Amino acid sequence: MKFNKTALFLAASVFAVPLSAIAQSAPQAMSVVAQVPGKMAEADAIQIQGKVKAINKKTRNVTLEGPNGNQLVIPAGDEVKNFDQIRIGDLVTLTYVQALVVELKAVENNGIRERRESTAQTSAPLGSKPSGTIEKTITVVANVVAINPKAQTVTLRGAKRTVEVGVQDPALLARVKVGNQVEATYVEGIALSVVAVPKGK
């Protein structure tokens, strides 16, 4: 099961940078898949790191340069209260993570469908280098309305929409039946840190 890479949610609270820009900057990428009876989990992470090459205080754009000389311009929103603490040569690290856990619940069809959302955020104290994290969690209880063993997909009807989910493990797919419910927890997060690089490095 692969996630569709979308723009970073709420990224303007730290740096308003689209994930597509991160992906084009030769990032480090990691994908982890784990499965236990009745449960499946996957996590994807992308990280970029670069030194501050230029700062435009008028437009609040920060230009980062990676180890191979590739450059990425990041617009810092007004929410970045420590923008004036950024200096040429500072090291910026951006990490984007997506995680999904799907758990099978053997209950009758037409059960109650739910959707719960929450957001958590941290930031650096005023006067220090910009840093912070944003994490959004969505939990959905959905009905299994269709199964396609050949395509290895399950169609789920949640409280707001119906989606088709790929299932890599045939054994897990065999345990799912139309009329079951699943609980899916999706977590999306971004972490940013800016640190001063010691002279001579």
What does the pLDDT look like over 73-117, one tens digit per residue?
A: 888 877 777 888 999 999 988 888 888 787 766 555 456 778 888
Greatest CA separation for the chain: 66
CA 24 – CA 66 distance, rounded (Å): 11
- Which tokens is 180 given? 């079951």
CA 43 to chain centroid, in Å, comes to 9
| Helices and strands in the chain: count of H runs, count of E runs | 2, 10
- Which tokens is 107 given? 């209950």
CA 113 to chain centroid, in Å, comes to 24
How many Cβ atoms from other residues are within 10 Å of residue 41's Cβ? Answer: 15
pLDDT score, position 55: 95
Q: Is the pLDDT at 154 greater than 80, yes or no?
A: yes
pTM score over 0.75: no
**pLDDT tens column, 156-176:** 888 888 888 777 777 777 777
